[in-house]
Amino acid sequence: MTATATIENDLLKAERLTIRFGGLTAVSNLDLLIRRNELVGLIGPNGAGKTTVFNLITGVYQPAEGEILFDGQSVVGSKPYRITARGIARTFQNIRLFSSLSVFDNVRTVFHLHLRGDVRHALWRGRAFLDEEKSIADRVVELLEIFHLEKLRDAPAKSLSYGDQRRLEIVRALAAQPKLLLLDEPAAGMNANEKTDLMRLIQFIKDRFRISVLLVEHDMQVVMGICERIVVLDYGVKIAEGTPDEVRKNPKVVAAYLGD
Amino acid sequence: MRFRHAKLLLLVALGLSLLVSLGADRIDAYVLFVLYNIGIYIILAVSLNLINGYTGQFSLGHAGFMAVGGYTAAVITNQFGALNPFASGALFFGALLAGGLLAAVAGLLVGLPTLRLKGDYLAIVTLGFGEIIRVIFQNMDRVGGARGLSVMHGYTNFFWTFGMAAVTVYVVTALVHSTYGRGFIAVRDDEIAAEAMGINTTKYKVTAFVVGAFFAGIAGGLYAHSTQFLTPGGFNFMQSIAIVVMVILGGMGNTPGVILAAILLTLLPEGLRWMAGVEHLPGIAKMHPLGWIGDTRMIIYSLLLIVLMLTRPQGLFIWRRKFRNAPP
Ligand SMILES: Nc1ncnc2c1ncn2[C@@H]1O[C@H](COP(=O)(O)OP(=O)(O)OP(=O)(O)O)[C@@H](O)[C@H]1O
Ligand SMILES: [Mg+2]
């Protein structure tokens, strides 16, 4: 592979990423690479800094040091909504849906990113507006169907079961048509069967939409099954990286998880 | 999609307002005056509902925006003598628009620096802003200062009042019932998630403030040319609170409920006066619409709020829709 081909194949590249909260270095000197259409796992014990990495990538936090390149351009210093528009969408560890909006509207809202018309269209409500709203509605339903949520489309998000809420968050993130999808413990609180189903679904959407996925998960077994590559964090430091097999055998990883 | 025949409904509402307006000389002057107040408070409450209800920003500055619109429109029309109906209509429309636009500029000026603030802090700052506006007018000799400003022309009529109310309801409803407009509610529900979903939350909040202030300014112009007398005191924070109570009573982000609340709370003092057996005094009512009941209104509103918050925090006129397939 030539050098340029490699760069073009890199979707996200974080270098020497560091952030401190007071005396605590939550993420320290982290290098992270995600290639196009790759499913990468990010694991580590409680408080390892996984969610903080998400917050750094999505612009919620600014790194003290380091650089984040997305599609070859820096996202450091950009506002979260701009980063989303550029192609990074996420879910939250502690579910953050638009609770009073319906399932349908939770997803629909995100389509404003791809609107051709603006406020004037909404006020005038002409043909162009109605056509666009119709095509958005079709695409929302299409996404909901993948996750078997179309039957709940008119229910307010807060009335959904825990598992459905988690899946709705993924659908909502997909509506942003991201190149990179960040999932923060999407299977938390699910039983083993639900977890397996969800992991299959994640693999399916990755291929269907040709996106990259960075998946945070507590349960090592779950991640091992589907990830192509795994990055292990402990106390903000990357202690291992490699294929599931390599990571599983790594003594540092075993120690980190046993000490947990 | 609801709100399908929106434009048609708006035209019908405008036509009806015009029709009633043409026959308005048959309506009792006092009844007409109360009707104008109803229209004006519908505009105020529905526009505040965009800010406080749909977007979830707690603004207490609506009377300030109303004052900007009222004084602006009054100063403009006061420059002219008697005009033929056509010219006066055009002049009034222009004056209302100018008042609305200036109020919108005020909304932008308040909105931009303060929208970082949340909840109580935003409420306090917007309340302070409203009071500052009031004090500015109080010290402006050009508009009569504390003595008040006589408005020469009683241009406000049924058509303008309810036409503008219909336009306000249309604009707010059309905005919110669109993919773009669901963003207002997203900002209210979860600002962090909204930002993460690509929503420029600051822009949405400022938009809500600017649109809300614009219509408050229009309402101020209508109010000025209905009472024909403006005093800074008429735009004090009790006025803002009265509008907030309408929004809360109607149910945050529930336009039909808010309209109903605006009607009821405008009629309430009139009803009380009737119960007390006091003849209505058009002269007094003209100068202080609603205001004459003064402290009584304050007590009633406070009690209403307390009872409401305890019994129906979601608002009086929220009808829960049934959701098929919704799990328990
Ligand atoms: N805003 C903040 N202020 C101060 N400390 C923070 C902040 N955010 C995270 N931390 C700290 O940084 C460390 C890493 O937190 P983070 O949430 O990233 O861990 P995590 O790997 O996601 O853990 P978990 O598996 O429990 O979700 C923790 O010690 C946490 O307390
Ligand atoms: Mg976490």
Supply the range of the domain harboring residue A36: 1-80+213-260
Complex-level ipTM beyond the 0.90 threshold = yes
pLDDT for A106 equals 98
Report yes or no on A41 lying in a domain: yes
Q: Does residue A219 surpass a pLDDT of 80? A: no
Number of domains chain A is built from = 1
Supply the range of the domain harboring residue B187: 3-236
Q: Map residue B118 onto helix, strand or coil.
A: coil
Report yes or no on A48 lying in a domain: yes
Q: With pLDDT > 70 as the criterion, what percentage of chain A qualifies?
A: 96
Report yes or no on A203 lying in a domain: no
Report yes or no on B74 lying in a domain: yes
Report yes or no on B267 lying in a domain: no
Higher pLDDT, A121 or A177: A177
Contacts of A136 in chain B (CB under 8 A): 179
- Could you tell me the CATH number of the domain that includes residue A45? 3.40.50.300
pLDDT (average), residues A63-82 = 96
Report yes or no on A86 lying in a domain: no
Report yes or no on B243 lying in a domain: no
**DSSP per residue, B196-264:** HTT--HHHHHHHHHHHHHHHHHHHHHHHHHHHSEE-GGGGSHHHHHHHHHHHHHH-TT-HHHHHHHHHH
Report yes or no on B269 lying in a domain: no
Residue of chain B with shortest Cα separation from A94: B193
- pTM to 2 decimals? 0.91
Are residues B47 and B216 in contact, defined by beta-carbon separation less than 8 angstroms?
yes
Query: How many whole angstroms separate alpha carbon B243 and alpha carbon B184?
Result: 20
pLDDT for B306 equals 79
Number of domains chain B is built from = 1
Nearest to A110 among B175, B198, B253 (CB): B198
* Candidate from A123-137, A245-259, B248-262 with smallest mean pLDDT: A245-259
Query: How many whole angstroms separate alpha carbon B80 and alpha carbon B152?
Result: 9
pLDDT tens digits along B189-209 = 999 999 999 999 999 999 999
Supply the residue whose CA is at minimum distance from atom 11 of ligand 1.
A26
Report yes or no on A19 lying in a domain: yes
pLDDT for B328 equals 35
pLDDT below 50 — which residues of chain B? Answer: 1, 279-292, 321-328
Residues near ion ligand 2 (CB < 5 Å) are: A 50-51, 93
Report yes or no on B249 lying in a domain: no
pLDDT for B45 equals 98
Report yes or no on B84 lying in a domain: yes
Q: Does residue A213 surpass a pLDDT of 90? A: yes
Report yes or no on B41 lying in a domain: yes
pLDDT for B267 equals 87
pLDDT tens digits along A225-237 = 899 999 999 999 9
pLDDT for B73 equals 97
Report yes or no on A249 lying in a domain: yes
The whole-angstrom distance between B309's CA and the closest CA on chain A is 19
